[in-house]
Amino acid sequence: MSIAIVGIGFGAMLALMFLSVPIAVTILSIGAFGGYMLYGTPLVDMLGGVIWTSLNSPTMLAIPLFMMLGELLLRGGIADRMYDAMAVWLGRLPGGLLHSNIATCTMFSATSGSSVATAATVGTIALPALEQYKYPMPASLGSLAAGGTLGILIPPSVNLLVYGSIANTSVGQLFAAGVVPGLLLALSFSAYIALFHGKAGAEATGLTTMPLRQKLALGKHLIPPAIIFGVVMGSIYGGLATPTESAAIGVMLALGFVALNGRLTVDLLINCSVQAAKTSGMVMIVLVVSLLLNVTISMTGAAQAMTTWVGGFGFERITLLFVLLLFYVLLGTFMDAMSMMVLTVPIVLPIVLAAGIDPVWFGIFIVIMCEVALITPPVGMNLFVVHGVRTDGGSYADVTRGALPYVAVMMLFTVALMIWPQIVMWLPDMLAGRQ
């Protein structure tokens, strides 16, 4: 297959998305139509088997279970208490409650798996306190939007699950690879806040003067999410459970904590289940059509054509990664994170594998690129979510102005991962006994 045909197919998908055609319909149309034009009905006939094989997998069940886990934490009141505890312990730092935004997003990310859910949840909880203590609104909104992106990097992550399915890479290894970069990125956000917004929240004196006994009493609210994260991730890394089994354990633990809080009702279970089903359905439809596209790309030789074409430029590993960095940042300005990932991974992955780049490392790279897309105007999903939960009727420009510095932080952080790839690979290599 010529590179021109690959370019036409990719351009056609972008054109359909610009026309507001749903991403799943776009990918299915190009994948199925391209396969039919080149191989006729035999290739189209085998797509049904691909769908069945893809969905008839225990790994797929992890997606709705992790979605359910996040919903229980949100609607069960655990997230609210988590923020209160973070606020009293981190309020003394330069930047005050802005650090609480990042820390709460980090902890919520460790149990939810969704960036949008993280940004919406923490934003709803945090904004009243930020307004009360007169924090600058752009800085407040920017920290919430950026902190929310950690939901797809710190495990359990739905995006890492999807990447693992598309790239046929171990989900357990991807989850292990996301821990250290996720924590370091959260610390990078806090370092930026301390340097550039250190004087924010000077009026929040009530939080800094609270007696130690009250702080310790509030600190107990951090125990439930810490236990859930420890059990879920520990069971995976310890080889005691698969990601799907660990997700089920997490849901049972969350149900127990919600029941202890006296919030477990039939209505809560119905609302959590319905919302988790809606979100899971959206993710799984996109995943299935991306796997169908994968089949077409493999059968037509498009991946080999792209690999040969890019290889002809003679790029070094670091040069190729810089090209991909700029490509994904540009793509993220007009495409949502999940669409960007499922659309490009089948084409780009063979290229990076040919360059000797580890697929686990590349999974973290592309998820960080998805994070950048979530806060890059004009279509950054987290920007819309955080702006939507504010109640002061302010301008959308506030959230974009506040979030853009975090784009720069993430790009610099990605460059650091390119230079020192062991930041990503240390933990999965250690757990796999490769060190």
- The three-class DSSP label of residue 48 is helix
| 206 class by beta-carbon count within 10 Å (0-12 exposed, 13-18 middle, 19+ buried) | exposed
- 250 vs 288, more confident: 250
pLDDT in tens, 109-138: 877 767 877 888 888 888 888 888 888 999
The confidence band for 1, taking pLDDT boundaries of 50, 70 and 90, is low
> Between the CA of residue 177 and those of 64, 107, 171, 431, what are the distances in Å?
22, 17, 10, 10
Tokens 């997998």 found at = 57
pLDDT over 90 percentage in the chain: 31
Phi then psi for residue 56, to 5 deg, are: -85, 60
- Mean pLDDT value across the chain: 85
pLDDT in tens, 31-45: 777 777 777 777 667
* 257 closest CA partner among 399, 139, 80: 80
Tokens 């693992």 found at = 164
Q: Tell me the mean pLDDT in the region 5-24.
A: 77
- Cα–Cα distance measured from residue 32 to residue 45, given in angstroms and rounded to the nearest whole number: 10
The answer on pLDDT for 218 being more than 60 is yes
Report whether 122 contacts 112 (CB < 8 A).
no
Range with top average pLDDT, 42-56, 264-278, 300-314: 264-278
Beta-carbon contacts of 224 under 8 Å, excluding residues fewer than 6 positions away, are 78, 253, 254, 257
- Cα–Cα distance measured from residue 5 to residue 119, given in angstroms and rounded to the nearest whole number: 40
State the pTM of this model. 0.84
Beta-carbon contacts of 68 under 8 Å, excluding residues fewer than 6 positions away, are 251, 272, 273, 276
H or E, element range at 35: helix 23-39
The answer on pLDDT for 143 being more than 60 is yes
The pLDDT, as a whole number, for residue 204 is: 57
Rg, Å, the chain Cα set: 22
Give residue 313's identity as a one-letter amino acid code: F
Report whether 141 contacts 386 (CB < 8 A).
yes
Q: Among 35-39, 137-141, 166-170, where is mean pLDDT lowest?
A: 35-39
Torsion sign over Cα 178, 27, 295, 300: negative
Q: Give the DSSP letter of residue 152.
A: G
